[in-house]
Structure 1
Amino acid sequence: MTTLADPVPGGRPGDLGRVAALTADLATRKVHGVVLAYVDTAGVGRVKTVPTARLEAAVSWGVGMSPVFDTFLADDSIVTTDVLGSPDGDLRLYPDLDRLVPLAGQPGWAWAPVDRITQDGERHPGCSRTFLRRMVADAAERHGLAFRAAVEIEWSVGLGTAPGDAFVPAAAGPAYGAARQVELSDFTADLLAAFAAQGVDVDQLHPEYAAGQFEVSVGALDPVAAADRSVLARQTIRAVAGRHGLRVSFAPAVLAEGVGNGGHLHLSCWRGGVNLHSGGTGRYGMTAEAESFAAGILAHLPALTAVTAPSPASYLRLKPSQWAGVFTAWGLETREAALRVVTGTAGRRDQEANLEVKPVDLAANPYLALGCVIAAGLDGLTASLPLPGEITGDPARYGAEEAAALGVRRLPRSLPSAVEEFRADQVLRAALGPVLADAVTAVRLGEAAAVEGLDDARVAAAYRWKY
């Protein structure tokens, strides 16, 4: 379980008592440096690093960082809000020792996620990890709820020898094909070994649909740890691929056409160790609270898209009839619905039943995405929102009248349209707080302006290696 305590100047309670032993252990493992990892508003992983010998200082007093990073775009240009984006000010990065792990894919390095506080020791209102920790803590306090979550990871494997920024698939085998698994057998075996050494529980690792595409599904954790694991897993995949002469992309659309890379969220609500998505009297074993939680997510999906599909390239992926979930609809194991109810296998449903949110890709900051999905679900639960009728098959087949009767509408088709929905959603904006909500808006509009006038192929190329 990840700590929900905020860092404080001088160190979190208990951290100083164990950091010396951790530092000594890392030195024994010949770990020379620690990666301090965070994700910016644009969804780009950013880092600072410290020598292992400086870990105690980082735990005690943090590592400096400018608040300007909260308004970086994927191309490293900077937008501004009323309070962010200037060269003024400083923050402190505090590593979470509960999540520190030596990196098997990067010998000589360890990794830890960070929370950010101000120089005065207050929560930084733009810290997405702190936002998710707050959402989890508030749900426990106000509703007695805990969550289990996981983020699916799809990525495209290209040849490291491809010219320039071109994408040349590193495997030619068919979708889900045995041939593709054999072609990249050494890479994926080393990847599984690295995951195991780092304590990342892997449920599945397999070739996916698009050219050179793979997917890994990992075990569920509390939401903060699940977001951490998503960031760590991508760092590991990239590192192991590089050691095999490969280049990987987690971008929503590596090419303008075809199926893109998703980052579907899996989430379940628990109270007192009991899964609310199983054993209830509602549809498919859901309790009334689980149904209302799902209804809240559905109701806020158009606005959520600005958080879960935050790149112009996301809208190259969000197309009907490609299992991307582009309609406000839910269904039992329906892969075209934006919200998929997963019951799990008979005999394990009390452990496995969950919701899958599909219009999510890996340009999304996982802390923002999970936090906002939880905020949406809790809004539905608080209001006892009724879950509408389910759909079966592909919602793209519905005519306008039938879709309206079922409450099925197309999600935003562009990033500016998603921002309009987000601006109108007071629940999500209130959950994020004004500083972080304004950063989301400014960064999304900045990304849209950065590619204005580009055709789809150039949009895909612009983001191909950013994620």
Structure 2
Amino acid sequence: MSTTTAEQDGSPAAPLQAPPDPPLDAELRAERAARARVAAARLAAESVEGVILSWVDNAGLTRVKTVPVRRLEHAAAWGVGAAPCFDVFLVDDSITTSRHIGGPAGDLRLIPDLDRLTRLAAQPGWAWAPADRYAQDGSAHPGCQRRFARRSAAAAALRGIEPLTGIEIEWVVALAGAPGEPPVHPTHGPAYGLHRLVDLSDYLRDLLHALDEQGMAVLQLHPEYTPGQFELSLDPEGPLGAADTTVLARQTIRAVGVRHGLRTSYAPAVEPDAVGNGAHLHLSLWRDGQNLGQGGPGRYGLTGEAESFLAGVLAELPALLALGAPSPASYLRLVPRRWAGAYRCWGLENREAALRLIPGPPGEGPASANAELKCFDAAANPYLLIGAVLAAGLAGLDARRALPAEVPGDPAALPEGEVPRLPASLAAAVAEYQTSGVLREALGDPLYEAVLAVRRGELALFAGHSPAELAAATRWRY
């Protein structure tokens, strides 16, 4: 297995922090403007008229500004204005505040990442790019969630580790109707059944076509458990790329649905007593082309580094739920015996454990081995989720943590208390988040406290709601 210098000499590894991003200076602005000029000409030749600039807020909602394609050059150099108070928007668009971020004053600049600029196949005439957020003087905005994911990936790189990640995308479709109406599903039949594929084959074919046109490599697409529910898996990528791809894929799914008269919901609980929409995070760690989840001396071939990383994630899972299961409605989904990962344990191919180890079929190759975190859902901001999981894992690696005993079967079948449950409410997850020094240090106080303010705001917003009322209030917000 690979070893760090600290492992070789017996001393604990010192935490390694990624350097701060450079500010936008005149040279960088000129470089970006030149690249955008070429990109805008290409898009105009492809009949693109507008460019969507997106970011995901702390409530898990994707927010946007748009520019005409002829303004892309200016936007790439100087950005588009957006208020910092978006960091404390709640899911219903009401606004709270925090110690560092909030209030009506101030402005930020949305700077599109031209490396991810994509012509949208399901929205003719439009292109999309994720945006980084900067202060007016060109310095990095400390509340930028996308920059947090980039910073966490850079911290892994300082340790010689390249993570590959991917988020499973689950969603429910319903016939278009008024927001307050219960969902009317356009297809029924058995879970994972052929009925749904046949009933919506044109919709699903168009979705595959749109994703392919956008250069997105689909691994599989299939009906899921809940009525009207489907799941999409895409090729794993680096942490920032995987978060961007999640945003783009969800946007594409929604756009294809609109063209077929369908509404799309990524809500954790579309209906209060049904299986909800998860966002299972798959993760593998690589060093010099070697998958650290294979070929090691540890359990199931784990290297010491891979085990310590996963142990760090498992240790922080209760606090991570404040980022990965961020809505009060998330806890309508996170219940035992729904494969939601409600127990703080790990196991080989155990779909009831929060951490599922997947060695892959023998002989398939090193790319198949990965770990799956099942307790997260589609209300999560993917940049916060991936960045925080990396931070927790790197803290475990630095501390050389070890995994506890494996739970090989259904933890709900064991005596009560033998396997710890994860928090069963957002309030309990927030309490764990407030005790996490790992997440506070990784996020930095402005982003950490803005997230906390939003969670507290939504706890107050939905206090006293019944499960049915909570599902209805959030069903079409995600």
TM-score, with structure 2 as normaliser: 0.94
SS of alignment partner, residue 320 of structure 2: helix
Alpha-carbon distance in 2 for matches of 1:14, 1:386: 46
**Alignment counterpart, residue 160 of structure 2, candidates 144, 167, 177:** 144
Alpha-carbon distance in 1 for matches of 2:414, 2:443: 35
The answer on 1:158 being equivalent to 2:158 is: no
Where structure 2 has 5 or more consecutive residues not aligned to the other structure, the ranges are 1-19
Question: Residue 465 of structure 2 aligns with which residue?
Answer: 454
Alpha-carbon distance in 2 for matches of 1:126, 1:326: 30
**Alignment counterpart, residue 440 of structure 1, candidates 451, 474, 477:** 451
Alpha-carbon distance in 1 for matches of 2:285, 2:279: 20
Q: How far is the alpha carbon of 1:166 from its aligned partner?
A: 2.3
Q: How far is the alpha carbon of 1:18 from its aligned partner?
A: 2.4
Alpha-carbon distance in 2 for matches of 1:201, 1:379: 32
Q: How far is the alpha carbon of 1:12 from its aligned partner?
A: 5.7
Q: Deviations over 1:426-462 (max 9, x none)?
A: 1111100001110111101111111111100000000
Alpha-carbon distance in 2 for matches of 1:135, 1:109: 31
Question: Residue 368 of structure 1 aligns with which residue?
Answer: 384
Alpha-carbon distance in 2 for matches of 1:274, 1:121: 38
Q: Any conservation in 2 of the 1:324–1:359 contact (CA below 8 Å)? A: yes
The answer on 1:297 being equivalent to 2:319 is: no
Alpha-carbon distance in 1 for matches of 2:367, 2:455: 37
Where structure 1 has 5 or more consecutive residues not aligned to the other structure, the ranges are none
Q: How far is the alpha carbon of 1:357 from its aligned partner?
A: 0.7
Question: Residue 54 of structure 1 aligns with which residue?
Answer: 71
Paired letter, 2:289: G
Question: Residue 204 of structure 1 aligns with which residue?
Answer: 220
The answer on 1:90 being equivalent to 2:90 is: no
Q: Any conservation in 2 of the 1:70–1:126 contact (CA below 8 Å)? A: yes
Q: Deviations over 1:281-307 (max 9, x none)?
A: 111111010011110011000001111
Task: State how 1:383-394 maps to structure 2 within 5 Å.
Answer: 383-394=399-410
Alpha-carbon distance in 2 for matches of 1:19, 1:79: 36
Paired letter, 1:458: E
SS of alignment partner, residue 44 of structure 2: helix
RMSD: 1.4
Alpha-carbon distance in 1 for matches of 2:108, 2:22: 14
Question: Residue 3 of structure 2 aligns with which residue?
Answer: none
Question: Residue 321 of structure 1 aligns with which residue?
Answer: 337
Q: Deviations over 1:363-399 (max 9, x none)?
A: 0000000011001111111111011111112101111
Paired letter, 1:447: E
Q: Deviations over 1:81-114 (max 9, x none)?
A: 1121200101111100110100001000000001
SS of alignment partner, residue 93 of structure 1: strand
Question: Residue 16 of structure 2 aligns with which residue?
Answer: none
Paired letter, 2:44: A
Paired letter, 2:148: F
SS of alignment partner, residue 328 of structure 1: strand
Question: Residue 282 of structure 1 aligns with which residue?
Answer: 298
Q: Deviations over 1:231-284 (max 9, x none)?
A: 000000000000000001000000010110100101111111211111111111
Moved over 2 A (4+): 4-7, 9-18, 161-166
Q: How far is the alpha carbon of 1:15 from its aligned partner?
A: 3.0
Q: How far is the alpha carbon of 1:347 from its aligned partner?
A: 2.0
Q: Any conservation in 1 of the 2:218–2:232 contact (CA below 8 Å)? A: yes
Alpha-carbon distance in 2 for matches of 1:191, 1:210: 20
Name the stretch that deviates more: 182-191 or 130-139: 130-139
SS of alignment partner, residue 107 of structure 1: coil
Task: State how 1:386-465 maps to structure 2 within 5 Å.
Answer: 386-400=402-416, 403=418, 408-465=419-476
Q: Any conservation in 1 of the 2:180–2:472 contact (CA below 8 Å)? A: no
Question: Residue 26 of structure 1 aligns with which residue?
Answer: 43
Q: How far is the alpha carbon of 1:168 from its aligned partner?
A: 1.0
SS of alignment partner, residue 343 of structure 2: coil
SS of alignment partner, residue 175 of structure 1: coil
Question: Residue 359 of structure 1 aligns with which residue?
Answer: 375
Q: How far is the alpha carbon of 1:344 from its aligned partner?
A: 1.5
The answer on 1:180 being equivalent to 2:196 is: yes
The answer on 1:350 being equivalent to 2:366 is: yes
Question: Residue 6 of structure 2 aligns with which residue?
Answer: none
The answer on 1:119 being equivalent to 2:145 is: no
The answer on 1:223 being equivalent to 2:239 is: yes
Q: Any conservation in 2 of the 1:416–1:448 contact (CA below 8 Å)? A: yes
Question: Residue 15 of structure 2 aligns with which residue?
Answer: none
Alpha-carbon distance in 1 for matches of 2:22, 2:287: 24
Q: 1:224 to 1:75 in 2, by over 3 A?
A: same
Q: Any conservation in 1 of the 2:100–2:449 contact (CA below 8 Å)? A: no
SS of alignment partner, residue 439 of structure 1: helix
The answer on 1:244 being equivalent to 2:255 is: no
Q: Any conservation in 1 of the 2:156–2:163 contact (CA below 8 Å)? A: no
Paired letter, 2:279: G
Q: Any conservation in 1 of the 2:267–2:474 contact (CA below 8 Å)? A: yes
Name the stretch that deviates more: 349-358 or 14-23: 14-23
Paired letter, 1:87: P
The answer on 1:72 being equivalent to 2:89 is: yes
Q: Any conservation in 2 of the 1:93–1:114 contact (CA below 8 Å)? A: yes
Paired letter, 1:104: A
TM-score, with structure 1 as normaliser: 0.96
**Alignment counterpart, residue 194 of structure 1, candidates 206, 210, 217:** 210
Q: Deviations over 1:337-359 (max 9, x none)?
A: 00011112222341121111111
Q: How far is the alpha carbon of 1:139 from its aligned partner?
A: 1.6
Alpha-carbon distance in 1 for matches of 2:242, 2:227: 27
Q: Any conservation in 1 of the 2:34–2:73 contact (CA below 8 Å)? A: no
SS of alignment partner, residue 347 of structure 2: strand
Q: 1:183 to 1:79 in 2, by over 3 A?
A: same
Alpha-carbon distance in 2 for matches of 1:93, 1:162: 33
Question: Residue 117 of structure 2 aligns with which residue?
Answer: 100
SS of alignment partner, residue 338 of structure 1: strand
**Alignment counterpart, residue 281 of structure 2, candidates 265, 272, 283:** 265
Alpha-carbon distance in 1 for matches of 2:362, 2:34: 45
Alpha-carbon distance in 2 for matches of 1:445, 1:398: 34
Q: Any conservation in 2 of the 1:9–1:60 contact (CA below 8 Å)? A: no
Q: 1:73 to 1:92 in 2, by over 3 A?
A: same
